[in-house]
Amino acid sequence: MSKKRTAKVIIVGGDVLGCGQANQLGHEGWGEETVLSEKAELTSGSASHGYGSFRLAYTEDEMDWLRHTLSVGRALGFNIELVGLEFIAEKHPYYNLEGVIGALYTPDDGLVASSNVTMAMATGARQKGVKLFRQCRATNITQNDAGEWVVETEQGTVICEHFVYAGGTYARQMVEWTDLQLQMTSMTHHYFVTEDVPEFKDLDTELAVIRDDKLASGHIRMVQKKGRIGIYEKENSNSVWHNECPWEYENWLFEADYDRVMPWLENSFERMPILPTVQPRRSPTVTPSARSSHLPS
Ligand SMILES: Cc1cc2nc3c(=O)[nH]c(=O)nc-3n(C[C@H](O)[C@H](O)[C@H](O)COP(=O)(O)OP(=O)(O)OC[C@H]3O[C@@H](n4cnc5c(N)ncnc54)[C@H](O)[C@@H]3O)c2cc1C
């Protein structure tokens, strides 16, 4: 990057959202006037996805929440429906449905390797003229008297009309540069990947993801021939980086805290009894706090 350049748009952050925006702007004809700056390498953020998914309900209140979600989903054009136990058991014969009274089924939930998607979108953006700068952290953002954004980066300054934030969990500290404040906290969550599950060996397609907010406080899914349990603790949750997120962060794994997640982990194994035959691997990670897709407890 030259020490000072002008552009129509700067996108800060080069993971799935930033590269997606860059690709889209390229296809809208803004490629030559768009730059993207990524502090590390592309796909350095937290992006990671079945073959359909079920959101389970155990009570009438939870069914009401699913009906609400159904109407919102349909209004947005999603292929989504309420289904009964027989349907769930047919699609997912390994889940213990005791106590479940229904589910919201989203058949088009898909499986993608998010880093591959990000790289493909980055390639599309480059082909349309977008300049992508790696190892190029944005260090300050101000507005000049003309109302343009002045974005200082490790490789020079960019003056532009539009600033697109795609920096993930760094949002709070970056918007503070512009005197804005965001109510945002980074939470650590656990996910566990099992060894290969013998029952999955001969399956041609992946099983639907089960989102069991009540008993697993998260999701249980098949990933290739392994099982994955992702827990978003409803109780005993843990936040980190209260003052600021370290700029060196690139997909670190945190120390596991098994006591904190044990009730959900035990429930998960009880719900999917084919999993306890294998050893879980601990892989806690960090994600910006956002539980909007979850059922009320
Ligand atoms: C364990 C785990 C599992 C998940 N599973 C799923 C799932 O199954 N399905 C799903 O839809 N979502 C899932 N998510 C959520 C999903 O990963 C996030 O919603 C997604 O990564 C957000 O993408 P993003 O591009 O907005 O931000 P991020 O992926 O966080 O990327 C932000 C990028 O900005 C860069 N950056 C930050 N600050 C600066 C700066 N000052 N200058 C330059 N660059 C900067 C970072 O280096 C990084 O590359 C999961 C998350 C986790 C942690």
**DSSP per-residue string spanning 170-211:** GHHHHHGGGT------EEEEEEEEEEE-GGGTT-SSPPPEEE
Domain 53-109+185-288 has CATH 3.40.50.2300: no
Domain ranges of the chain: 4-46+114-178, 53-109+185-288
Does residue 109 surpass a pLDDT of 90?
Answer: no
User: H/E element holding 282?
Assistant: strand 281-282
Residue with the bigger pLDDT between 180 and 284: it is 180
Rg, the chain, Cα only: 22
Span 84-103, mean pLDDT? Answer: 97
Does residue 168 surpass a pLDDT of 60?
Answer: yes
Span 76-82, mean pLDDT? Answer: 95
In sequence order, the β-bridge partners of residue 131 are 35
User: Which residues does a 6 A CB cutoff place in the pocket of ligand 1?
Assistant: 12-18, 37-40, 44-49, 137-138, 166-170, 174, 191, 285, 287
**CA 85 to centroid of ligand 1, rounded, Å:** 34
Residue with the bigger pLDDT between 79 and 205: it is 79
The model carries a pTM of 0.82
Give residue 38's pLDDT. Answer: 95
Span 286-291, mean pLDDT? Answer: 45
**20 and 132 Cβ atoms separated by less than 8 Å:** no
**CA 273 to centroid of ligand 1, rounded, Å:** 32
4-46+114-178: CATH, from 3.40.640.10, 3.30.565.10, 3.20.20.80, 3.50.50.60: 3.50.50.60
53-109+185-288 has the same fold as 4-46+114-178: no
Which ligand 1 atom is at minimum distance from the Cα of 287? Answer: 53
Residue 125: HSE in the Cβ half-sphere, 13 Å Cα cutoff: 28
Residue nearest to atom 35 of ligand 1 (CA): 13
* Of residues 239, 252, 206, 243, the one with CA closest to residue 94: 206
**CA 39 to centroid of ligand 1, rounded, Å:** 13
Give residue 281's pLDDT. Answer: 54
Span 276-282, mean pLDDT? Answer: 55
Task: Report the range of poorest mean pLDDT among 62-71, 106-115, 118-127, 225-234.
Answer: 106-115
Residue nearest to atom 6 of ligand 1 (CA): 48
Residue range 180-230, pLDDT digits in tens: 888 888 888 888 888 889 999 999 888 999 999 999 999 999 988 889 999
Give residue 194's pLDDT. Answer: 87
Task: Report the range of poorest mean pLDDT among 16-30, 154-168, 232-246.
Answer: 232-246
